[in-house]
Amino acid sequence: MSHVREEVIENLLQEFRALEERLADPQTAVDPKRLMELSRERARLEPVVDLARAWQNFRSQWEEIQKQLALEKDSDMISVLRDELTELESALKRTERELQLALLPKDPDSGKDVFVEIRAGTGGEEAALFARDLLRMYLRYLEKKKISVEIMDISESPAGGIKEAIFAARGPEAFDLLHREAGGHRVQRIPATEANGRIHTSAVTVAVLPQIEEDELTLNPADIRIDVMRASGAGGQHVNKTESAVRLTHLPTGIVVYMQEEKSQMKNREKAMQVLRARIYEKEKAEKHEKLAAEKKAQVGSGDRSDKIRTYNFPQNRVTDHRIGYTAYNLDQVLEGDLDDLIQAIQVHRQQELLQEIN
């Protein structure tokens, strides 16, 4: 096998065996945090290990048949062995490709839950209406993928659009499926209020932030200003009677998180703290990317939210992802949550980039 070295596979299997030994250690069982970390690591490695073992099995069978062929004299048996060898070579090649992809470097945040923030940008009310369309698109897609979703907060516009929406997507696939959705989403369509039928261009930004646990990022309470106030907008009579809304301001960075979706101030505060931690983590990560880019004198992809990553053209029923040169004329289906082809194309493109870097 030319692309996956046997020593790489053996190192992987040794790592997995050591991991299972640590999981079986009685001391691990009494440390919930350690147990969770090791269990998460095992879940991440197990599919790769299964592929590695399958590759070893196919390779062993292939070598055994090669030996039999070298000794066999009967023509009929030689024909049978050659057929088996052809089948094994096909299985070996397929497994090799899957294993090669599985061994590609993973994003450090792979496997985490994420917060998705959708904000209306340029375009006024039309941008807000499209932000609502994007929210619906993602919620339908995640429902089809059986990924749990929790609406964190929504700020509506006067005409029924969305100024800003934040939701959490929870599941081991959430980050891998969504993190490359971060960026600028441009819509081209004729607004309902446009009397002359002119196409307007509006923009919506999407941010995808991995959920960060307290032990991953410690915040100094003295650095956070907490303001409570009455919630505004839709939500029922409690909106104007109780101070349930919470605004957190991280003084060192100036990052502000406002949360009012829950009736409970405590719940709003808890949610706001989760989002605040995620935003600070993302800011620190972006700064590291910028520093690395400056050192290399080249732009390092960092999911910059100001980048235009995709265009949704309603007159042509077209969706175009500018990063990978992907165009399809099924915008109506995409907005119904049929994102599999698009997201798979993005993932394959990224895999090809990583393979080129390795090779």
- State the average pLDDT over residues 91-120: 88
Structural tokens at position 276: 């605040």
Q: Is residue 118 part of a domain?
A: yes
Average pLDDT score over the chain = 87
Which of 102, 127, 150 is where one domain is finished? 102
Lowest mean pLDDT among 125-134, 185-194, 270-279: 185-194
Asked whether residue 77 falls in the same domain as residue 143, the answer is no
Instruction: Out of 96-100, 114-118, 332-336, pick the least confident.
Output: 96-100
For residue 200, give the nearest of 189, 192, 215 by alpha carbon: 189
pLDDT of residue 298: 36
Residues 31 and 167 in one domain: no
pLDDT value of residue 114: 95
Q: Compute the average pLDDT of residues 58-67.
A: 92
330, pLDDT greater than 90: yes
Q: Among 104-108, 239-243, 246-250, name the most confident range.
A: 246-250
State how far the Cα of 267 lies from the Cα of 269, in Å rounded to an integer. 5
Q: Are 117 and 151 in contact (CB under 8 A)?
A: no
H/E stretch holding 228 = strand 224-229
Which range (4-13, 50-59, 109-118) has the least confidence? 4-13
Interval 117-140 mean pLDDT: 95
Instruction: Report the candidate in 170, 187, 199, 184 with the shortest Cα–Cα distance to residue 111.
Output: 170
For residue 267, with 0-12 CB atoms within 10 Å meaning exposed, 13-18 middle and 19 or more buried, which class applies? Answer: middle
Question: 192 and 47 in one domain?
Answer: no
Condensed to tens digits (0 to 9), the pLDDT of residues 132-153 reads: 999 999 999 999 999 999 999 9
Q: Which residues contact 334 (CB under 8 A, 6 or more apart)?
A: 137, 312, 319, 328, 342
Number of separate domains in the chain: 2
**30 φ, ψ (degrees, to nearest 5):** -95, 5
The more confidently predicted of residues 185 and 301 is 185
pLDDT in tens, 252-288: 999 999 999 888 899 999 999 999 999 999 998 888 8
In order of 2, 249, 269, the CA distances from 264 in angstroms are 59, 19, 9
Number of residues assigned to the chain: 359
pLDDT of residue 353: 85
Is 107 part of any domain?
no
Say if 331 falls within a structural domain.
yes
Neighbours of 129 (CB within 10 A): 22
Within a domain: 255: yes
pLDDT, position 302: 37
272 or 358, higher pLDDT: 272
pLDDT band at 106 (very low <50, low <70, confident <90, very high): confident
Using DSSP's 3-state secondary structure scheme, residue 347 falls into: helix
pLDDT band at 292 (very low <50, low <70, confident <90, very high): low
Q: Strands across the sheet with 308-313, in order?
A: 148-156, 162-170, 114-120, 200-210, 183-189, 308-313, 318-321, 326-328
In a shared domain, residues 173 and 49: no
- pLDDT number for residue 323: 93
Same domain, 302 and 236: yes
Both 93 and 128 in one domain: the answer is no
Residue span of the structural domain in which 175 resides: 114-354
Tokens 């790592």 sit on residue: 15
Residue 74 lies in a domain: yes
Q: Identify the CATH number of the domain in which residue 141 sits.
A: 3.30.70.1660
At 31-42, the pLDDT tens digits run 888 888 888 788
- Token pair, residue 35, equals 């147990």
Give the chain's count of helices (H) and strands (E).
Answer: 9, 11
Q: Specify whether 264 is located in the same domain as 330.
A: yes
| CATH number of the domain within which 40 lies | 1.20.58
Tell me, yes or no, whether 80 and 130 share the same domain: no
**Collapsing DSSP states into helix, strand and coil, what is residue 180?**
helix
- Residue owning tokens 């709003």: 268
**Is the pLDDT score of 2 beyond 60?**
no
Same domain, 290 and 159: yes
Range from 28-42, 58-72, 114-128, 131-145 carrying the lowest mean pLDDT = 28-42
C-alpha distances in Å from residue 280, one per residue of 152, 252, 288, 295: 17, 10, 13, 23
Residue that finishes a domain, picked among 102, 129, 163? 102
Residues 64 and 202 in one domain: no
Could you report how far apart the first and last alpha carbons of the chain are, in Å? 15
In a domain, 1, yes or no: no
| Residue 245 β-bridge partners | 229
Report the pLDDT value the prediction gives residue 85, as an integer from 0 to 100: 92
Neighbours of 142 (CB within 10 A): 23
pLDDT of residue 297: 41
Residue 58 lies in a domain: yes
Same domain membership, residue 297 and residue 172: yes
* Residue at a domain's end among 102, 125, 157: 102
341 found inside a domain:
yes
Whether the per-residue pLDDT at 329 is higher than 70: the answer is: yes
pLDDT at position 222 is 94
For residues 221-249, give the mean pLDDT: 76
Phi and psi at residue 139, to the nearest 5°: -65, -40
Q: Are residues 211 and 265 in the same domain?
A: yes
- Quote the pLDDT of residue 295: 53
What is the model's pLDDT at position 299?
A: 33
pLDDT at 293: 60
pLDDT at 44: 80
